[in-house]
Chain A
Amino acid sequence: MKCQRCKKNPATVHLTDIVKNEKYEKHLCDECAREENVTFKSHTPINELLASFVMQQSGAQELAELQCDQCGITFVEFRNNGLLGCPADYDVFEEALVPLLQRAHGEEATHHVGKTPKGRSDDAGKQRRELIRLRRELNEAVEREDYETAASLRDTIRTLELS
């Protein structure tokens, strides 16, 4: 099949869109796709999984209203772009994620099996929790435009990071 736009090169990018119940197909070569700013959505599979999954779920409404109080992402937002907002989301959305993970990774995929981060001593853990706290305070200081506090927090963070 030839590219619909330049009618020269073979079409390598195939798009289907549904607008008002009408199906549109587009077949382009790489170059024309780039010129028309067609970007490759890398998350189609999980989006499809999410859409079909959420549709089937009873209590979907309750899920949709879930929101993470750390990064502010809602379940609907996650469903729409396939990406989570912060590490805490794995706990906040756990109920919805467990069956989703099993669909994406297989029925036996309930727990991590494999390597774990090295060198997690208690001291290091303490220091890391301290860093997380300091970074949160830094963000808050920047938000309230308290640059003096922010600067001193930033220096403390850098010293800790490299120690």
Chain B
Amino acid sequence: MNIDDLAKRAGEWLSGTGPMSDIVISSRIRLARNVAGFPFLGKATEGQRAELQRMLREHIEQLGLPDPTFYVDIEDTGELDRRVLVERHLISRQQAEGVGSRGVAISSRETLALMVNEEDHLRIQDLRSGLQLDELWQEISRVDDMLGSRLDYAFHNRYGYLTACPTNVGTGIRVSVMLHLPALRMTGEMERVIRAARDMRLAIRGLYGEGTEATGDFYQVSNQTTLGRSEEEIIDDFKHIVIPKIIDYEKQARQLLTQEKAVILDDKIWRAYGLLSTARALSTDEALALLSHLRMGIHLGRIDRLGMDMVNELFVLTQPAHLQKLRGADLDGEARSAARAEYVRRRLGGEN
């Protein structure tokens, strides 16, 4: 297993198979952990970083997980491959662009990713398609326990798991659910949802996390509180309150559109199809926005000539690094737009 194998298809989280997958793209849980006896990374020497990587890698590889991991040493990995990992949500931008010894262990199904020497010594991530928070918590907590019995985590009786940034201290947990909310965007109700989420101390961000806007109508909802509430309480909020409510709003908005604005809705969907199957140049953002409308059209049964799998796959395969991997060449912006348009045309079956 290596990055070239990964880049040919979409990861498990984009398979569109999990529960509620018409609206919930993926669920993710990550835990931030540090090893006692070492400074946090901002104050660690390169020698200490290398020692941490060697030790963490060894322990991860000895866990004997049912879904075996392969390790990517980021320093030995080219820029394009690093960006492929970012586009697949297996490492963060910070991890890709940082300096010093660092890496990631990825399970072969791409559900588990253990980042070594990102902002904290260890960040364990579990990512799956659809709404699967209980399954994620069960798996990630077990991996965390296995590692915790081998390593000495930095832990404080009052403040819990200690992290480099105090915004993660306590449980060190970040629960994120990626939602596809095209109807709420179209009906202009997204602002209301964002305000309500902020009142609940939740962050709403775009597809690629902090600092990005919501392209393609994808929104990532995540908790900001990590201290004073247990992992289960945080997860239960998502499961029983936040996510069902947003799903309900989106469904109402979709219903409203099909009942009262059917022409406008169909026009958007079919224009998206028309543009995607004929365009000669497509930017990443334009492709995302059009694919988003197509995805909604398929789920609402307004268009039936396309498979959901293929559309889901295109969301990641049209990203810049994946596209260049597919082409096997470095392409500049303009050549990328042309290659993207050609690839999408071919996949949609339009030869014109």
Q: Are A43 and B37 in contact (CB under 8 A)?
A: no
Q: Which candidate, A16-24, A58-66, A111-119, is the interface stretch facing chain B?
A: A111-119
Q: Are B171 and A101 in contact (CB under 8 A)?
A: no
Q: Quick one: which of A9, A86, A119, A128 contacts B39, CB cutoff 8 A?
A: A86
Taken together as a complex, chains A and B put the C-alpha atoms of A91 and B157 apart, in Å, by 11
B contact residues around A30 at 8 Å (CB): 284-285
A contact residues around B232 at 8 Å (CB): 114
User: Can you list, as one digit per residue, whether each of B133-177 has a CB less than 8 Å from chain A (1) or not (0)?
Assistant: 000000001001100110011111111111011110111010000
Residues B181-225 near A (CB distance < 8 A): 201, 210-213, 215, 224-225
A interface, size bucket: 35 or more
Q: Which candidate, B40-48, B104-112, B246-254, B257-265, is the interface stretch facing chain A?
A: B40-48
How many whole Å from B285's CB to the nearest CB in chain A?
A: 6
Taken together as a complex, chains A and B put the C-alpha atoms of A46 and B165 apart, in Å, by 8
Q: Are A40 and B170 in contact (CB under 8 A)?
A: no
Is residue A51 contacting chain B, with contact meaning CB distance below 8 A?
no
How many whole Å from A138's CB to the nearest CB in chain B?
A: 9
Taken together as a complex, chains A and B put the C-alpha atoms of A59 and B144 apart, in Å, by 41
Q: Are B47 and A90 in contact (CB under 8 A)?
A: no
B contact residues around A85 at 8 Å (CB): 39-40, 42-43
Q: Are A81 and B42 in contact (CB under 8 A)?
A: yes
The chain A residue sitting closest to B93, CB to CB, is: A40
B contact residues around A149 at 8 Å (CB): none
Residues A89-138 near B (CB distance < 8 A): 90-91, 97, 100-101, 104-106, 108-119, 128, 131-132, 135-136
The chain B residue sitting closest to A104, CB to CB, is: B167
A contact residues around B228 at 8 Å (CB): 105-106, 108-113
Q: How many residues of B contact A (CB 8 A)?
A: 61
B contact residues around A119 at 8 Å (CB): 145, 148-149
Is residue A57 contacting chain B, with contact meaning CB distance below 8 A?
no
A-B pair number, CB within 8 angstroms:
161
Q: Quick one: which of A101, A106, A115 contacts B141, CB cutoff 8 A?
A: A115
Taken together as a complex, chains A and B put the C-alpha atoms of A73 and B39 apart, in Å, by 10
Is residue B36 contacting chain A, with contact meaning CB distance below 8 A?
yes
B contact residues around A83 at 8 Å (CB): 40, 42, 119, 164-165
Known A39-B97, A111-B228, A112-B158; contact A104-B166, beta-carbon cutoff 8 A:
yes
Known A86-B39, A90-B169; contact A116-B155, beta-carbon cutoff 8 A:
yes
Q: Are B158 and A71 in contact (CB under 8 A)?
A: no
Known A39-B97, A104-B224; contact A90-B229, beta-carbon cutoff 8 A:
no
Taken together as a complex, chains A and B put the C-alpha atoms of A128 and B35 apart, in Å, by 11
Q: By DSSP majority rule, is chain A's interface helix, strand, loop, or mixed?
A: loop
How many whole Å from A68's CB to the nearest CB in chain B?
A: 9
A contact residues around B213 at 8 Å (CB): 12
Is residue B17 contacting chain A, with contact meaning CB distance below 8 A?
no
User: Can you list, as one digit per residue, whether each of A32-45 has a CB less than 8 Å from chain B (1) or not (0)?
Assistant: 00000001111101
User: Can you list, as one digit per residue, whether each of B98-128 has a CB less than 8 Å from chain A (1) or not (0)?
Assistant: 0000000000000000000001000000000
Taken together as a complex, chains A and B put the C-alpha atoms of A110 and B45 apart, in Å, by 32
Q: Are A128 and B36 in contact (CB under 8 A)?
A: yes
Q: Are A161 and B230 in contact (CB under 8 A)?
A: no
Taken together as a complex, chains A and B put the C-alpha atoms of A137 and B250 apart, in Å, by 59
B contact residues around A31 at 8 Å (CB): 333
Taken together as a complex, chains A and B put the C-alpha atoms of A105 and B160 apart, in Å, by 14
Is residue B227 contacting chain A, with contact meaning CB distance below 8 A?
yes
A contact residues around B21 at 8 Å (CB): none
Taken together as a complex, chains A and B put the C-alpha atoms of A31 and B39 apart, in Å, by 35
Is residue B226 contacting chain A, with contact meaning CB distance below 8 A?
yes
B contact residues around A118 at 8 Å (CB): 145, 148-149
Q: Are A114 and B230 in contact (CB under 8 A)?
A: yes
B contact residues around A101 at 8 Å (CB): 159, 166, 169, 227
Q: Are A109 and B225 in contact (CB under 8 A)?
A: yes
Taken together as a complex, chains A and B put the C-alpha atoms of A161 and B35 apart, in Å, by 12
Binding site for A on B (CB under 8 A): 34, 36-40, 42-43, 45, 47-48, 55, 58, 93-94, 97, 119, 141, 144-145, 148-149, 152-162, 164-167, 169-171, 173, 201, 210-213, 215, 224-233, 283-285, 333
**4 more A-B residue pairs beyond the given contacts A13-B211, A100-B166, A111-B158, with a C-beta to C-beta distance below 8 A:** A40-B93, A104-B224, A112-B158, A112-B171
A sample of 7 inter-chain contacts (CB < 8 A) reads: A29-B285, A71-B39, A90-B169, A113-B229, A115-B141, A118-B148, A139-B48
- Across the A-B interface, the 3 shortest Cβ-Cβ residue pairs: A112-B160, A109-B228, A119-B149
Binding site for B on A (CB under 8 A): 6, 9-10, 12-13, 29-31, 39-43, 45-46, 70-73, 81-87, 90-91, 97, 100-101, 104-106, 108-119, 128, 131-132, 135-136, 139, 142, 161-162
